[in-house]
Amino acid sequence: MTDLLTATMARVVRADIQGLHAYAVQPSAGFVKVDTMENPHPLPPALQQALGERLGRVAIHRYPAERGDDLKAALAAHAGLPAGCSLMLGNGSDELITLLSMACALPGAVFMSPLPSFVMYGLSAALQGVRFEGVPLTADFELNEAAMLAAIDQHRPALLYLACPNNPTGNLWDEAVIDRIVDAMARHQGLVVIDEAYQPFAARDAMHRLGRQPHVLVMRTMSKFGLAGVRIGYLMGASALIAEIDKLRPPFNISVLNAEAALFALAHADEYARQAVLIREQRERLFRALQDMPGVHPWASQANMVLARVPDAAATFAGMKARGVLIKNVSALHPLLANCLRITVGTPDEVTLTLAALRASL
């Protein structure tokens, strides 16, 4: 049996897939979980109960239909989608990245992003057999404009991902530099995907580009807003372009329960906005405390995480884990991230615990 399985897999599964590693999630039960940029605040009990009652009335014996359309309309209103543009839903923005990659995976195509950035850009290119070109950021994680423009001229990427703010660095790149990169992509007739996963915590967004720059797509997620478990991402752009990418979407990719929960959350957007304010306050507290720690160098963040360099990231990560605090050691992701740790902003109590564990582990 095992021999048959091995032989069959070797014959039918693409060799390049067999050589890849799956997206890894570290086990987190029992830890202060500050590793994956979740919103640490649950809904207040009264809202939890109201949500439960609403979910209890959902017609789960039917395929999803109208609620997906209702959710698209509610998200379009929430984001301020301009005329001539449309919005499509993904099972998290991860699925949208996959669909974009599938849509643009022409033979010889190149996808690009600055590095370090969100790992799924490169991984989803690899999954489609598309060449991925990463362009290193500067040592302070700013866009290297000259290198980006040269790489765009050289490779004419079909897709360029710009995470604004960026993960895992947390910073928001200079808007004038982004403008020039967006213009260069227009000259080469390539698409720019502005990934605004962390927009709820940032001082600016890219919605003004929609309707004006037809080769720009803006991608968002409800994950960092407070619904990481619900899996709703959305992609916005010129209607004709969204219609093409939407053809690749699996039918019924958004569960009726997910759509209902997301509609509920949007109806209570004020509660989530309050939580985002708290998170931004705690981000500044975390950043300042990190600045005051000898040997620690944090970078200013516009997201709900702070990246910091420490003398020995592996030892500090292990020490914090032993003290019950789970962060992310991103050192191995890219040479520029040597000895860097990414710390998600928790509740005020979680930030206190995180800082104490960090001080004890340095």
Q: Is residue 68 involved in binding ligand PMP (CB under 6 A)?
A: no
Q: Give the type of residue at 178.
A: I
> Alpha-carbon distance 1 to 4, whole Å?
5
Q: Is 92 in the site for ligand PMP (CB under 6 A)?
A: yes
Contact flag: residue 167 with ligand PMP (CB under 6 A) = yes
Residue partners of 47: CB distance under 8 A and separation at least 6? 268, 271
The answer to the question of residue 113 lying near ligand PMP (CB under 6 A) is no
CA dihedral defined by 46, 61, 75, 96, rounded to 10 degrees?
A: 120
Residue type, 94: D
By Cβ distance, which residue is nearest to ligand PMP? 92
Beta bridge partners of 135: 114
CB of 8 to ligand PMP, least distance (A): 32
Q: How far is the CB of 45 from ligand PMP (least distance, A)?
A: 25
CB 283 within 8 A of CB 171: no
Is 163 a binding residue for ligand PMP by CB under 6 A? The answer is yes
**Count of all residues that appear for the chain in the document:** 362
User: Shortest distance, CB of residue 128 to ligand PMP, whole angstroms?
Assistant: 17
Judged by CB under 6 A, the stretch of 12-20, 43-51, 88-96, 149-157 that binds ligand PMP is 88-96
User: Nearest-CA neighbor of 154 among 179, 176, 120, 131?
Assistant: 131
Least distance in Å: CB of 222 to ligand PMP?
7
The residue from 39, 86, 101, 223 that contacts ligand PMP (CB under 6 A) is 223
CB 182 → ligand PMP: shortest distance, Å?
18
Nearer to ligand PMP, 37 or 79 (CB): 37
The answer to whether residue 171 forms part of the interface with ligand PMP (CB under 6 A) is: no
Q: Which of 93, 169, 301, 329 binds ligand PMP (CB under 6 A)?
A: 93
- Angle of helix 256-267 relative to helix 66-79, nearest 10 degrees? 30
Distance CA 287, CA 351 (A): 10
Q: How far apart are CA 74 and CA 265, in angstroms?
A: 10
Chain centroid to Cα 287, Å, comes to: 21
Per CB under 6 A, the list member of 32, 34, 35, 37 interacting with ligand PMP is 37
Contact set with ligand PMP (CB under 6 A): 37, 92-94, 118, 163, 167, 195, 197, 221, 223, 228, 233
